[in-house]
Structure 1
Amino acid sequence: MNGFDITGWGMAVPERVVSSTELAQRFGVDENWIVSRCGIHERRAVGPGQTTASLAVEAGRRALDKAGLSGGDIAHLIVATATPNSRHRPRPRSSTTNWASPAARTTSTPSARASSTASSRPWH
């Protein structure tokens, strides 16, 4: 067979869920105001020591487990994320938002997905 097969997939997200209700209470706004502007009802927040990279490793392990393979069995591992590995805090848009507060920093939402690929013919 030419090419590759996707033999397993895995994903990982932080355990802590931050709801729009929690954010609304924290910032003194209505929950519907948040949801109507972004459509998001909940997001995930990283814990101490968690990064996009650590979540990617966890997702990769889950992909290998699902495929019944080990790292030595695969030719490639595809990782995709929409979140950078570092926490970037944007500048405040108004004087009412304090982006340096711990509450604002916890709304970072890294996630990672990985697919293990097994190839009958290694790519050269």
Structure 2
Amino acid sequence: MAEALANHLGRDKVRALSAGSRPLGYILPETAEVLAEQGIPLDGQWSKGIDEVPVDDMDYVVSMGCEVSCPVPLGFKGRVVEWDVPDPYSHDLEFFRSVRDLIEENVRSLLASLALDAWRDTAYGRHQ
């Protein structure tokens, strides 16, 4: 969900990838359904492990919590962001919706923070 929401809300300004410490190997139908309700596509997404994404090339790693181990590779030089998002697996559709909404709220907050950081890095921002 987070990958789809971040890419959708960030438009062409961010590129988000997701990976899990214990991926299922497929996207749950409930995930696809609650994202489709918001018009968010899952085009090109699949369930993947942390070893399947280029973590060393990333600026940020967001740990979802989910009551599981969320390892960050040793030597990662970017920023690690921790979110406390419950794992919707084996819950009902309403729970999936609540998780979607929580992730969306967190994504919007992170995107706003990134925009503020970018503004601060501009010549105008540095002189204020």
With structure 1 as the length reference, what TM-score do the two structures score? 0.27
| Greater per-residue helix proportion | 2
Greater relative contact order (CA < 8 Å, ≥ 6 in sequence): 1
Structure showing greater radius of gyration is 1
With structure 2 as the length reference, what TM-score do the two structures score? 0.27
